[in-house]
Amino acid sequence: MGIARDTKYIFVTGGVTSSLGKGIISASLAKLLQARGYSVTIQKLDPYINIDPGTLNPYEHGECYVTEDGAETDLDLGHYERFLNITTSRANNITTGRIYQSVINKERKGEYLGETVQVVPHITDEIKHCIKLLGETNKYDFVLTEVGGTVGDIESLPYIEAIRQLKFELGKNSLAIHLTLIPYLSAAKELKTKPTQHSVKTLLEYGVQPDILVCRTEKTLNQSLKDKIALFCNVDTSSVIESIDTSSIYKVPLLMKEEELDVVVLKKISMDTHGDPDLEKWNTFLYRLENPEHIVRIGLVGKYIELIDAYKSIIESLIHAGATNDCKVEIKLLQSERLNEKNITKKLKDLSGIIVAPGFGDRGIEGKILAAKHARENKIPFLGLCLGMQCAVIEFARNVLKLKNAHSTEMNTNTPYPVIDIMEEQKKVTLKGGTMRLGAYPCDINTQSKTFSIYKQKHISERHRHRYEFNNEYLSDFENNGMKAPGINPNANLVEIVELIDHPWFIGVQFHPEYKSTVANPHPLFVSFVKAVLDHK
Ligand code: GLN
Protein backbone atom coordinates (compact mmCIF):
# COMPACT_ATOMS: atom_id res chain seq x y z
CA MET A 1 0.00 0.00 0.00
CA GLY A 2 1.27 3.43 -0.92
CA ILE A 3 0.81 6.47 1.24
CA ALA A 4 -2.84 7.50 1.42
CA ARG A 5 -3.45 10.56 -0.69
CA ASP A 6 -5.23 13.51 0.77
CA THR A 7 -7.85 13.51 -1.97
CA LYS A 8 -9.62 16.83 -2.53
CA TYR A 9 -13.24 16.87 -3.56
CA ILE A 10 -14.63 19.58 -5.81
CA PHE A 11 -18.39 19.81 -6.30
CA VAL A 12 -19.83 21.53 -9.34
CA THR A 13 -23.49 22.56 -9.33
CA GLY A 14 -25.47 24.57 -11.84
CA GLY A 15 -27.97 27.37 -11.43
CA VAL A 16 -30.45 29.47 -13.40
CA THR A 17 -30.79 27.14 -16.38
CA SER A 18 -29.56 23.84 -17.74
CA SER A 19 -27.16 23.60 -20.71
CA LEU A 20 -24.65 26.09 -19.30
CA GLY A 21 -21.82 23.68 -19.94
CA LYS A 22 -21.08 22.31 -16.48
CA GLY A 23 -19.45 19.29 -18.08
CA ILE A 24 -17.06 21.45 -20.08
CA ILE A 25 -16.24 23.70 -17.12
CA SER A 26 -15.57 20.63 -14.96
CA ALA A 27 -13.44 19.04 -17.67
CA SER A 28 -11.56 22.32 -18.21
CA LEU A 29 -10.75 22.77 -14.53
CA ALA A 30 -9.71 19.12 -14.35
CA LYS A 31 -7.48 19.69 -17.41
CA LEU A 32 -5.74 22.64 -15.73
CA LEU A 33 -5.15 20.65 -12.54
CA GLN A 34 -3.91 17.67 -14.55
CA ALA A 35 -1.61 20.01 -16.51
CA ARG A 36 -0.12 21.04 -13.17
CA GLY A 37 0.81 17.42 -12.52
CA TYR A 38 -2.11 16.31 -10.38
CA SER A 39 -4.06 13.13 -10.99
CA VAL A 40 -7.70 13.93 -11.49
CA THR A 41 -10.96 12.21 -12.23
CA ILE A 42 -14.48 13.53 -12.78
CA GLN A 43 -17.80 12.02 -11.90
CA LYS A 44 -21.32 12.93 -12.98
CA LEU A 45 -24.35 12.54 -10.73
CA ASP A 46 -27.60 12.42 -12.68
CA PRO A 47 -30.81 13.05 -10.77
CA TYR A 48 -33.13 10.95 -12.94
CA ILE A 49 -34.66 7.62 -11.97
CA ASN A 50 -33.44 5.54 -14.92
CA ILE A 51 -30.65 3.24 -13.77
CA ASP A 52 -28.57 4.60 -16.67
CA PRO A 53 -29.21 6.52 -19.90
CA GLY A 54 -28.97 3.29 -21.95
CA THR A 55 -32.75 3.08 -22.11
CA LEU A 56 -33.20 6.76 -22.97
CA ASN A 57 -34.01 8.10 -26.39
CA PRO A 58 -31.18 10.34 -27.71
CA TYR A 59 -33.82 13.08 -28.11
CA GLU A 60 -34.13 13.05 -24.31
CA HIS A 61 -30.54 12.88 -23.36
CA GLY A 62 -28.20 13.06 -26.33
CA GLU A 63 -25.66 10.34 -26.97
CA CYS A 64 -25.27 7.40 -24.65
CA TYR A 65 -21.55 7.13 -23.95
CA VAL A 66 -20.00 3.73 -23.20
CA THR A 67 -17.02 3.20 -20.88
CA GLU A 68 -14.36 0.47 -21.03
CA ASP A 69 -16.15 -1.52 -18.34
CA GLY A 70 -19.36 -1.45 -20.33
CA ALA A 71 -21.37 1.18 -18.46
CA GLU A 72 -23.89 3.15 -20.52
CA THR A 73 -23.38 6.68 -19.30
CA ASP A 74 -24.01 10.38 -19.70
CA LEU A 75 -22.29 12.07 -22.63
CA ASP A 76 -20.32 14.32 -20.27
CA LEU A 77 -18.09 11.33 -19.53
CA GLY A 78 -17.05 11.55 -23.15
CA HIS A 79 -15.89 15.13 -22.57
CA TYR A 80 -13.98 14.04 -19.46
CA GLU A 81 -12.15 11.33 -21.41
CA ARG A 82 -11.50 13.54 -24.42
CA PHE A 83 -10.11 16.41 -22.34
CA LEU A 84 -8.13 14.38 -19.84
CA ASN A 85 -7.10 11.37 -21.91
CA ILE A 86 -8.15 9.11 -19.04
CA THR A 87 -10.61 6.24 -18.96
CA THR A 88 -13.69 6.48 -16.80
CA SER A 89 -15.86 3.66 -15.48
CA ARG A 90 -19.21 2.80 -13.99
CA ALA A 91 -18.15 4.65 -10.84
CA ASN A 92 -17.98 7.92 -12.79
CA ASN A 93 -21.71 8.17 -13.50
CA ILE A 94 -24.30 7.67 -10.79
CA THR A 95 -28.05 8.13 -11.21
CA THR A 96 -30.85 8.43 -8.68
CA GLY A 97 -32.12 5.12 -10.04
CA ARG A 98 -28.87 3.39 -9.09
CA ILE A 99 -28.77 5.02 -5.66
CA TYR A 100 -32.29 3.87 -4.86
CA GLN A 101 -31.72 0.43 -6.34
CA SER A 102 -28.72 -0.06 -4.12
CA VAL A 103 -30.50 1.20 -0.98
CA ILE A 104 -33.58 -0.92 -1.66
CA ASN A 105 -31.42 -4.01 -2.28
CA LYS A 106 -29.69 -3.41 1.04
CA GLU A 107 -33.05 -3.01 2.76
CA ARG A 108 -34.20 -6.37 1.39
CA LYS A 109 -30.99 -8.00 2.56
CA GLY A 110 -31.71 -6.73 6.03
CA GLU A 111 -28.80 -4.31 6.21
CA TYR A 112 -30.98 -1.68 7.86
CA LEU A 113 -32.98 -4.16 9.96
CA GLY A 114 -35.20 -2.34 12.43
CA GLU A 115 -34.71 1.11 10.86
CA THR A 116 -37.04 3.29 8.83
CA VAL A 117 -35.19 3.79 5.54
CA GLN A 118 -35.26 7.48 4.59
CA VAL A 119 -33.88 10.00 2.10
CA VAL A 120 -31.76 11.42 4.92
CA PRO A 121 -29.61 9.61 5.98
CA HIS A 122 -29.91 6.48 3.83
CA ILE A 123 -30.14 7.93 0.33
CA THR A 124 -27.72 10.75 1.15
CA ASP A 125 -25.29 8.26 2.72
CA GLU A 126 -25.39 6.18 -0.46
CA ILE A 127 -24.67 9.31 -2.53
CA LYS A 128 -21.77 10.23 -0.25
CA HIS A 129 -20.46 6.68 -0.50
CA CYS A 130 -20.52 6.88 -4.32
CA ILE A 131 -18.68 10.21 -4.27
CA LYS A 132 -16.00 9.02 -1.87
CA LEU A 133 -15.51 5.68 -3.62
CA LEU A 134 -13.35 7.26 -6.34
CA GLY A 135 -11.23 9.09 -3.74
CA GLU A 136 -10.81 5.89 -1.74
CA THR A 137 -9.09 4.18 -4.67
CA ASN A 138 -6.13 6.27 -3.60
CA LYS A 139 -5.41 7.10 -7.23
CA TYR A 140 -6.53 10.70 -7.37
CA ASP A 141 -5.44 14.03 -5.94
CA PHE A 142 -8.75 15.50 -7.07
CA VAL A 143 -12.20 14.06 -7.54
CA LEU A 144 -14.53 16.48 -9.30
CA THR A 145 -18.21 15.72 -8.90
CA GLU A 146 -20.62 17.36 -11.29
CA VAL A 147 -24.27 17.36 -10.25
CA GLY A 148 -26.66 17.25 -13.21
CA GLY A 149 -29.74 19.43 -13.36
CA THR A 150 -30.27 22.86 -11.85
CA VAL A 151 -30.21 23.84 -8.17
CA GLY A 152 -33.79 24.16 -6.96
CA ASP A 153 -35.03 21.10 -8.90
CA ILE A 154 -36.92 18.73 -6.63
CA GLU A 155 -34.94 15.75 -7.86
CA SER A 156 -31.49 17.16 -7.15
CA LEU A 157 -32.26 17.95 -3.50
CA PRO A 158 -30.70 14.78 -2.01
CA TYR A 159 -27.50 15.47 -3.95
CA ILE A 160 -27.23 19.02 -2.65
CA GLU A 161 -27.89 17.72 0.87
CA ALA A 162 -25.12 15.13 0.42
CA ILE A 163 -22.76 17.91 -0.70
CA ARG A 164 -23.72 20.01 2.34
CA GLN A 165 -22.84 17.11 4.62
CA LEU A 166 -19.62 16.27 2.78
CA LYS A 167 -18.43 19.88 2.81
CA PHE A 168 -18.87 19.89 6.56
CA GLU A 169 -17.09 16.55 7.01
CA LEU A 170 -14.23 17.22 4.61
CA GLY A 171 -13.65 20.86 5.56
CA LYS A 172 -10.59 22.24 3.75
CA ASN A 173 -10.42 19.19 1.52
CA SER A 174 -13.54 20.20 -0.35
CA LEU A 175 -14.84 23.05 -2.41
CA ALA A 176 -18.12 24.01 -4.08
CA ILE A 177 -18.24 25.68 -7.47
CA HIS A 178 -21.54 27.02 -8.74
CA LEU A 179 -22.01 27.67 -12.45
CA THR A 180 -24.62 30.30 -13.26
CA LEU A 181 -25.79 32.49 -16.11
CA ILE A 182 -25.46 36.27 -16.35
CA PRO A 183 -28.01 37.07 -19.06
CA TYR A 184 -27.61 40.09 -21.32
CA LEU A 185 -30.83 42.03 -21.90
CA SER A 186 -30.43 43.71 -25.24
CA ALA A 187 -33.34 46.11 -24.66
CA ALA A 188 -31.68 47.40 -21.49
CA LYS A 189 -28.15 46.88 -22.90
CA GLU A 190 -27.23 45.37 -19.58
CA LEU A 191 -25.90 42.18 -18.04
CA LYS A 192 -28.14 41.05 -15.19
CA THR A 193 -26.92 39.49 -11.95
CA LYS A 194 -30.28 38.85 -10.27
CA PRO A 195 -30.77 35.26 -11.51
CA THR A 196 -27.34 34.43 -10.07
CA GLN A 197 -28.20 36.05 -6.75
CA HIS A 198 -31.39 33.98 -6.58
CA SER A 199 -29.64 30.80 -7.52
CA VAL A 200 -27.03 31.28 -4.79
CA LYS A 201 -29.82 32.09 -2.29
CA THR A 202 -31.47 28.77 -3.19
CA LEU A 203 -28.18 26.97 -2.57
CA LEU A 204 -27.85 28.79 0.77
CA GLU A 205 -31.34 27.66 1.77
CA TYR A 206 -30.04 24.11 1.42
CA GLY A 207 -27.01 24.99 3.51
CA VAL A 208 -24.37 25.16 0.78
CA GLN A 209 -22.26 28.30 0.42
CA PRO A 210 -20.50 28.17 -2.95
CA ASP A 211 -16.79 29.01 -2.75
CA ILE A 212 -16.45 29.96 -6.38
CA LEU A 213 -18.96 31.24 -8.94
CA VAL A 214 -18.37 30.58 -12.61
CA CYS A 215 -20.55 32.99 -14.56
CA ARG A 216 -21.51 32.06 -18.08
CA THR A 217 -21.97 35.20 -20.15
CA GLU A 218 -22.03 36.44 -23.72
CA LYS A 219 -20.37 39.77 -22.80
CA THR A 220 -17.35 40.52 -20.62
CA LEU A 221 -18.12 41.11 -16.96
CA ASN A 222 -16.54 44.36 -15.78
CA GLN A 223 -14.99 44.74 -12.34
CA SER A 224 -17.96 46.49 -10.79
CA LEU A 225 -20.26 43.69 -11.91
CA LYS A 226 -17.90 41.11 -10.42
CA ASP A 227 -17.80 43.14 -7.19
CA LYS A 228 -21.57 43.24 -7.11
CA ILE A 229 -21.92 39.49 -7.60
CA ALA A 230 -19.28 38.89 -4.93
CA LEU A 231 -21.07 41.17 -2.45
CA PHE A 232 -24.48 39.59 -2.91
CA CYS A 233 -23.23 36.02 -2.92
CA ASN A 234 -20.63 36.06 -0.09
CA VAL A 235 -17.61 35.19 -2.22
CA ASP A 236 -14.34 37.08 -2.86
CA THR A 237 -14.25 39.06 -6.07
CA SER A 238 -11.37 36.87 -7.25
CA SER A 239 -13.74 33.90 -6.93
CA VAL A 240 -16.14 35.35 -9.47
CA ILE A 241 -14.94 33.71 -12.67
CA GLU A 242 -16.13 34.82 -16.07
CA SER A 243 -16.93 32.12 -18.59
CA ILE A 244 -17.53 33.89 -21.84
CA ASP A 245 -19.12 32.20 -24.88
CA THR A 246 -16.49 30.86 -27.23
CA SER A 247 -16.32 29.21 -30.62
CA SER A 248 -14.86 25.90 -29.43
CA ILE A 249 -15.20 23.89 -26.23
CA TYR A 250 -11.47 23.20 -26.51
CA LYS A 251 -10.73 26.87 -25.80
CA VAL A 252 -12.47 26.77 -22.43
CA PRO A 253 -9.43 25.45 -20.49
CA LEU A 254 -7.46 28.44 -21.76
CA LEU A 255 -10.22 30.87 -20.82
CA MET A 256 -10.36 29.33 -17.36
CA LYS A 257 -6.58 29.62 -17.10
CA GLU A 258 -6.76 33.32 -17.98
CA GLU A 259 -9.42 33.75 -15.32
CA GLU A 260 -7.13 31.78 -12.94
CA LEU A 261 -9.82 29.32 -11.94
CA ASP A 262 -7.14 26.73 -11.13
CA VAL A 263 -5.19 29.19 -8.97
CA VAL A 264 -8.31 30.22 -7.04
CA VAL A 265 -9.20 26.55 -6.46
CA LEU A 266 -5.69 25.66 -5.26
CA LYS A 267 -5.52 28.66 -2.94
CA LYS A 268 -8.89 27.85 -1.41
CA ILE A 269 -7.73 24.38 -0.50
CA SER A 270 -4.31 25.60 0.62
CA MET A 271 -2.30 23.96 -2.12
CA ASP A 272 0.75 25.11 -4.00
CA THR A 273 -0.01 27.59 -6.77
CA HIS A 274 3.51 27.94 -8.12
CA GLY A 275 4.18 27.59 -11.81
CA ASP A 276 1.81 27.26 -14.70
CA PRO A 277 -0.17 24.38 -16.12
CA ASP A 278 1.73 22.73 -18.98
CA LEU A 279 -0.66 23.12 -21.91
CA GLU A 280 1.88 22.89 -24.71
CA LYS A 281 0.29 19.90 -26.46
CA TRP A 282 -3.18 21.28 -25.93
CA ASN A 283 -2.12 24.56 -27.52
CA THR A 284 -0.59 22.77 -30.48
CA PHE A 285 -3.91 20.98 -31.02
CA LEU A 286 -5.81 24.27 -30.73
CA TYR A 287 -3.47 25.98 -33.16
CA ARG A 288 -4.03 23.25 -35.75
CA LEU A 289 -7.75 23.37 -35.10
CA GLU A 290 -7.90 27.10 -35.65
CA ASN A 291 -5.50 27.36 -38.58
CA PRO A 292 -6.51 24.61 -40.97
CA GLU A 293 -4.82 24.40 -44.35
CA HIS A 294 -7.61 22.42 -45.94
CA ILE A 295 -11.32 21.99 -45.66
CA VAL A 296 -13.46 18.91 -46.35
CA ARG A 297 -17.17 18.13 -46.14
CA ILE A 298 -18.28 14.87 -44.65
CA GLY A 299 -21.86 13.63 -44.56
CA LEU A 300 -23.10 12.03 -41.35
CA VAL A 301 -26.15 9.95 -42.17
CA GLY A 302 -28.40 9.29 -39.20
CA LYS A 303 -31.88 9.72 -37.89
CA TYR A 304 -31.29 12.19 -35.05
CA ILE A 305 -29.93 14.99 -37.15
CA GLU A 306 -31.98 17.70 -35.44
CA LEU A 307 -29.87 17.03 -32.39
CA ILE A 308 -26.09 17.13 -32.73
CA ASP A 309 -25.73 15.89 -29.14
CA ALA A 310 -26.95 12.50 -30.36
CA TYR A 311 -23.68 12.10 -32.29
CA LYS A 312 -21.38 14.00 -29.91
CA SER A 313 -18.46 11.56 -29.84
CA ILE A 314 -18.46 11.10 -33.62
CA ILE A 315 -18.39 14.85 -34.18
CA GLU A 316 -15.60 15.37 -31.63
CA SER A 317 -13.60 12.49 -33.13
CA LEU A 318 -13.82 14.21 -36.53
CA ILE A 319 -12.60 17.45 -34.93
CA HIS A 320 -9.58 15.63 -33.43
CA ALA A 321 -8.87 13.84 -36.72
CA GLY A 322 -9.30 17.09 -38.65
CA ALA A 323 -6.75 18.93 -36.50
CA THR A 324 -4.29 16.04 -36.97
CA ASN A 325 -4.67 16.46 -40.74
CA ASP A 326 -4.53 20.30 -40.55
CA CYS A 327 -7.98 20.18 -41.96
CA LYS A 328 -11.31 21.72 -41.03
CA VAL A 329 -14.04 19.12 -41.21
CA GLU A 330 -17.45 20.44 -42.10
CA ILE A 331 -20.11 17.99 -41.12
CA LYS A 332 -23.35 17.83 -43.05
CA LEU A 333 -25.99 15.98 -41.08
CA LEU A 334 -28.29 14.00 -43.35
CA GLN A 335 -31.65 12.66 -42.29
CA SER A 336 -31.65 9.06 -43.53
CA GLU A 337 -35.45 8.97 -43.69
CA ARG A 338 -35.31 11.59 -46.44
CA LEU A 339 -32.83 9.76 -48.67
CA ASN A 340 -34.17 7.74 -51.60
CA GLU A 341 -33.04 6.39 -54.98
CA LYS A 342 -34.14 9.59 -56.71
CA ASN A 343 -32.43 12.18 -54.54
CA ILE A 344 -29.36 10.32 -53.22
CA THR A 345 -26.93 11.62 -55.84
CA LYS A 346 -28.06 15.19 -55.38
CA LYS A 347 -28.10 15.02 -51.58
CA LEU A 348 -24.61 13.54 -51.34
CA LYS A 349 -23.05 15.37 -54.26
CA ASP A 350 -20.92 17.93 -52.41
CA LEU A 351 -19.53 15.42 -49.92
CA SER A 352 -16.03 13.95 -49.98
CA GLY A 353 -16.71 11.34 -47.31
CA ILE A 354 -19.67 9.53 -45.79
CA ILE A 355 -20.27 8.18 -42.31
CA VAL A 356 -23.31 6.07 -41.51
CA ALA A 357 -24.14 6.46 -37.85
CA PRO A 358 -24.96 3.90 -35.17
CA GLY A 359 -28.59 3.37 -34.28
CA PHE A 360 -31.44 1.05 -33.49
CA GLY A 361 -34.63 0.03 -35.22
CA ASP A 362 -36.18 0.34 -38.60
CA ARG A 363 -36.69 4.08 -38.97
CA GLY A 364 -34.55 5.52 -41.76
CA ILE A 365 -32.73 2.23 -42.37
CA GLU A 366 -33.19 2.14 -46.17
CA GLY A 367 -31.66 5.63 -46.47
CA LYS A 368 -28.59 4.44 -44.57
CA ILE A 369 -28.27 1.37 -46.80
CA LEU A 370 -28.57 3.61 -49.84
CA ALA A 371 -25.83 5.93 -48.54
CA ALA A 372 -23.50 2.92 -48.16
CA LYS A 373 -24.31 1.86 -51.75
CA HIS A 374 -23.61 5.36 -53.05
CA ALA A 375 -20.23 5.43 -51.27
CA ARG A 376 -19.29 1.97 -52.53
CA GLU A 377 -20.26 2.57 -56.15
CA ASN A 378 -18.78 6.06 -56.38
CA LYS A 379 -15.61 5.17 -54.48
CA ILE A 380 -16.26 7.82 -51.85
CA PRO A 381 -14.47 7.21 -48.52
CA PHE A 382 -16.92 5.50 -46.21
CA LEU A 383 -16.92 4.75 -42.48
CA GLY A 384 -19.75 2.65 -41.09
CA LEU A 385 -20.13 2.71 -37.33
CA CYS A 386 -21.94 -0.19 -35.66
CA LEU A 387 -25.36 -0.06 -37.38
CA GLY A 388 -23.52 1.80 -40.15
CA MET A 389 -21.28 -1.24 -40.68
CA GLN A 390 -24.33 -3.51 -40.64
CA CYS A 391 -25.93 -1.33 -43.34
CA ALA A 392 -22.82 -1.68 -45.52
CA VAL A 393 -23.01 -5.46 -45.10
CA ILE A 394 -26.73 -5.55 -45.99
CA GLU A 395 -26.12 -3.35 -49.02
CA PHE A 396 -23.27 -5.55 -50.26
CA ALA A 397 -25.40 -8.67 -49.79
CA ARG A 398 -28.31 -7.22 -51.74
CA ASN A 399 -26.47 -5.55 -54.59
CA VAL A 400 -23.20 -7.48 -55.04
CA LEU A 401 -24.05 -10.95 -53.78
CA LYS A 402 -27.56 -10.55 -55.24
CA LEU A 403 -29.22 -11.85 -52.10
CA LYS A 404 -32.58 -10.21 -52.64
CA ASN A 405 -34.16 -8.75 -49.50
CA ALA A 406 -31.11 -9.54 -47.38
CA HIS A 407 -31.44 -7.75 -44.06
CA SER A 408 -30.71 -7.69 -40.37
CA THR A 409 -33.14 -9.71 -38.28
CA GLU A 410 -33.43 -6.60 -36.10
CA MET A 411 -35.44 -4.95 -38.89
CA ASN A 412 -36.93 -8.00 -40.61
CA THR A 413 -37.22 -11.26 -38.70
CA ASN A 414 -38.40 -13.03 -41.85
CA THR A 415 -35.62 -11.99 -44.21
CA PRO A 416 -34.53 -14.88 -46.47
CA TYR A 417 -30.89 -13.80 -46.00
CA PRO A 418 -30.20 -12.76 -42.40
CA VAL A 419 -26.69 -11.43 -43.08
CA ILE A 420 -26.86 -9.60 -39.74
CA ASP A 421 -28.37 -11.70 -37.00
CA ILE A 422 -28.91 -11.62 -33.27
CA MET A 423 -25.92 -12.92 -31.30
CA GLU A 424 -26.33 -16.35 -29.73
CA GLU A 425 -26.00 -15.08 -26.15
CA GLN A 426 -28.55 -12.32 -26.86
CA LYS A 427 -31.31 -14.75 -27.85
CA LYS A 428 -32.33 -15.48 -24.29
CA VAL A 429 -32.08 -11.87 -23.09
CA THR A 430 -35.43 -10.30 -22.25
CA LEU A 431 -34.48 -7.39 -19.98
CA LYS A 432 -33.60 -4.19 -21.81
CA GLY A 433 -31.32 -2.22 -19.47
CA GLY A 434 -27.58 -2.88 -19.68
CA THR A 435 -27.99 -6.21 -21.49
CA MET A 436 -26.37 -5.50 -24.85
CA ARG A 437 -22.82 -6.52 -25.73
CA LEU A 438 -21.25 -3.59 -23.92
CA GLY A 439 -17.78 -2.23 -23.29
CA ALA A 440 -14.29 -3.18 -24.41
CA TYR A 441 -13.66 -6.41 -26.33
CA PRO A 442 -10.44 -7.59 -28.01
CA CYS A 443 -10.13 -7.83 -31.78
CA ASP A 444 -7.39 -9.46 -33.86
CA ILE A 445 -6.37 -7.71 -37.05
CA ASN A 446 -5.26 -9.45 -40.22
CA THR A 447 -1.89 -7.98 -41.17
CA GLN A 448 -2.79 -8.11 -44.90
CA SER A 449 -5.44 -5.42 -44.59
CA LYS A 450 -5.94 -1.69 -44.85
CA THR A 451 -7.19 -1.78 -41.27
CA PHE A 452 -3.80 -3.10 -40.14
CA SER A 453 -1.99 -0.33 -42.00
CA ILE A 454 -4.15 2.11 -40.04
CA TYR A 455 -3.91 0.63 -36.54
CA LYS A 456 -0.38 -0.76 -37.03
CA GLN A 457 -1.29 -3.30 -34.36
CA LYS A 458 -2.30 -6.96 -34.48
CA HIS A 459 -4.38 -6.85 -31.33
CA ILE A 460 -6.71 -4.00 -30.54
CA SER A 461 -9.51 -3.40 -28.09
CA GLU A 462 -12.59 -1.31 -28.84
CA ARG A 463 -15.89 -0.54 -27.13
CA HIS A 464 -19.17 -2.10 -28.19
CA ARG A 465 -22.90 -1.49 -27.78
CA HIS A 466 -25.07 -3.82 -29.87
CA ARG A 467 -27.10 -7.03 -29.92
CA TYR A 468 -26.69 -8.03 -33.58
CA GLU A 469 -23.63 -9.24 -35.49
CA PHE A 470 -22.36 -10.28 -38.88
CA ASN A 471 -23.71 -13.76 -39.68
CA ASN A 472 -20.67 -16.01 -40.25
CA GLU A 473 -22.65 -18.36 -42.50
CA TYR A 474 -22.21 -15.78 -45.22
CA LEU A 475 -18.59 -14.90 -44.50
CA SER A 476 -16.91 -16.84 -47.33
CA ASP A 477 -19.41 -15.47 -49.85
CA PHE A 478 -18.57 -11.92 -48.78
CA GLU A 479 -14.82 -12.50 -48.74
CA ASN A 480 -14.81 -14.19 -52.15
CA ASN A 481 -16.60 -11.19 -53.62
CA GLY A 482 -14.47 -8.39 -52.26
CA MET A 483 -15.76 -7.55 -48.79
CA LYS A 484 -13.17 -8.82 -46.32
CA ALA A 485 -13.40 -9.27 -42.58
CA PRO A 486 -9.94 -8.23 -41.34
CA GLY A 487 -10.98 -7.86 -37.68
CA ILE A 488 -12.20 -10.83 -35.65
CA ASN A 489 -12.98 -11.23 -31.97
CA PRO A 490 -10.62 -14.05 -30.94
CA ASN A 491 -12.90 -15.55 -28.29
CA ALA A 492 -16.24 -15.63 -30.06
CA ASN A 493 -15.05 -15.54 -33.68
CA LEU A 494 -17.28 -12.52 -34.37
CA VAL A 495 -16.64 -10.27 -37.36
CA GLU A 496 -15.83 -6.84 -35.92
CA ILE A 497 -14.52 -5.09 -39.04
CA VAL A 498 -15.32 -5.25 -42.76
CA GLU A 499 -13.43 -3.55 -45.57
CA LEU A 500 -13.78 -3.43 -49.33
CA ILE A 501 -10.85 -4.51 -51.47
CA ASP A 502 -11.71 -2.56 -54.58
CA HIS A 503 -12.22 0.81 -52.99
CA PRO A 504 -9.89 3.60 -51.79
CA TRP A 505 -11.29 3.63 -48.25
CA PHE A 506 -14.39 1.70 -47.21
CA ILE A 507 -14.43 0.35 -43.65
CA GLY A 508 -17.24 -0.70 -41.38
CA VAL A 509 -16.73 -1.44 -37.69
CA GLN A 510 -19.09 -3.24 -35.34
CA PHE A 511 -17.64 -1.23 -32.45
CA HIS A 512 -17.57 2.48 -31.61
CA PRO A 513 -14.10 3.97 -32.21
CA GLU A 514 -15.64 7.39 -31.48
CA TYR A 515 -15.68 6.59 -27.75
CA LYS A 516 -11.90 6.35 -27.65
CA SER A 517 -10.76 9.43 -29.56
CA THR A 518 -9.19 12.08 -27.32
CA VAL A 519 -7.37 15.37 -27.91
CA ALA A 520 -4.08 13.72 -26.95
CA ASN A 521 -4.82 10.52 -28.88
CA PRO A 522 -7.04 11.10 -31.92
CA HIS A 523 -8.42 7.76 -33.07
CA PRO A 524 -6.38 6.22 -35.94
CA LEU A 525 -9.51 5.17 -37.87
CA PHE A 526 -10.89 8.70 -37.88
CA VAL A 527 -7.46 10.19 -38.67
CA SER A 528 -7.04 7.83 -41.62
CA PHE A 529 -10.62 8.38 -42.77
CA VAL A 530 -10.23 12.19 -42.81
CA LYS A 531 -6.94 11.80 -44.68
CA ALA A 532 -8.67 9.60 -47.27
CA VAL A 533 -11.46 12.18 -47.56
CA LEU A 534 -8.85 14.87 -48.13
CA ASP A 535 -7.13 12.77 -50.81
CA HIS A 536 -10.47 12.05 -52.46
CA LYS A 537 -11.28 15.75 -52.58
N1 GLN B 1 -28.99 -1.90 -33.65
C2 GLN B 1 -27.77 -2.55 -33.90
C3 GLN B 1 -27.51 -3.68 -32.92
O4 GLN B 1 -28.07 -3.73 -31.87
C5 GLN B 1 -26.62 -1.56 -33.91
C6 GLN B 1 -26.43 -0.86 -32.61
C7 GLN B 1 -25.59 0.38 -32.70
O8 GLN B 1 -25.44 0.97 -33.77
N9 GLN B 1 -25.05 0.85 -31.57
O10 GLN B 1 -26.72 -4.55 -33.21
Q: Give the closest residue (by CA) to ligand 1 atom 5.
A: 387
Going by pLDDT thresholds of 50, 70 and 90, the confidence category of residue 60 is: confident
d(CA 126, CA 108): 15
Model pTM score: 0.95
pLDDT digits (tens, 9 = 90+) for 246-304: 999 999 999 999 999 999 999 999 999 889 999 999 999 999 999 999 999 999 999 98
Task: State the maximum Cα–Cα separation within the chain, in Å, rounded to a whole number.
Answer: 75
**DSSP codes, 406-460:** -EETTT-TT-S-EEEEE-GGGTT----TT-SEEEEEEEEE-TTSHHHHHH--SEE
Going by pLDDT thresholds of 50, 70 and 90, the confidence category of residue 4 is: low
Distance 237 CA to ligand 1 centre (A): 50
pLDDT digits (tens, 9 = 90+) for 414-432: 999 999 999 888 889 888 8
Q: Which atom of ligand 1 is nearest to the CA of 512?
A: 9
Asked if the model's pLDDT at residue 229 lies above 60, the reply is: yes
Q: Give the closest residue (by CA) to ligand 1 atom 3.
A: 466
CB 467 near ligand 1, within 6 Å: yes
Asked if the model's pLDDT at residue 2 lies above 60, the reply is: no
CB 468 near ligand 1, within 6 Å: yes
Q: Which of 413, 424, 465, when mutated, tests ligand 1's pocket best, judged by the most ligand atoms within 8 Å of its CB?
A: 465
Going by pLDDT thresholds of 50, 70 and 90, the confidence category of residue 1 is: very low
Residue 333 three-state SS: strand
The catalytic residues are 386, 512, 514
Q: Identity (one letter) of the amino acid at 471?
A: N
Q: Which atom of ligand 1 is nearest to the CA of 358?
A: 8
Q: Which of 386, 427, 471, when mutated, tests ligand 1's pocket best, judged by the most ligand atoms within 8 Å of its CB?
A: 386
CB 365 near ligand 1, within 6 Å: no
Asked if the model's pLDDT at residue 88 lies above 90, the reply is: yes
CB 360 near ligand 1, within 6 Å: yes
Going by pLDDT thresholds of 50, 70 and 90, the confidence category of residue 61 is: confident
pLDDT value at position 537?
A: 82
Q: Which of 56, 57, 360, when mutated, tests ligand 1's pocket best, judged by the most ligand atoms within 8 Å of its CB?
A: 360
CB 53 near ligand 1, within 6 Å: no
Asked if the model's pLDDT at residue 371 lies above 80, the reply is: yes
pLDDT digits (tens, 9 = 90+) for 154-207: 999 999 999 999 999 999 999 999 999 999 999 999 999 999 999 999 999 999
CB 356 near ligand 1, within 6 Å: no
* Alpha carbon separation from 465 to 34, 36, 48, 56 (Å, rounded): 30, 35, 22, 14
Distance 369 CA to ligand 1 centre (A): 14
CB 358 near ligand 1, within 6 Å: yes
CB 320 near ligand 1, within 6 Å: no
The CA-based angle 81-86-28, given to 5 degrees, is 55
pLDDT digits (tens, 9 = 90+) for 33-46: 999 999 999 999 99
* DSSP H/E element including 42: strand 40-46
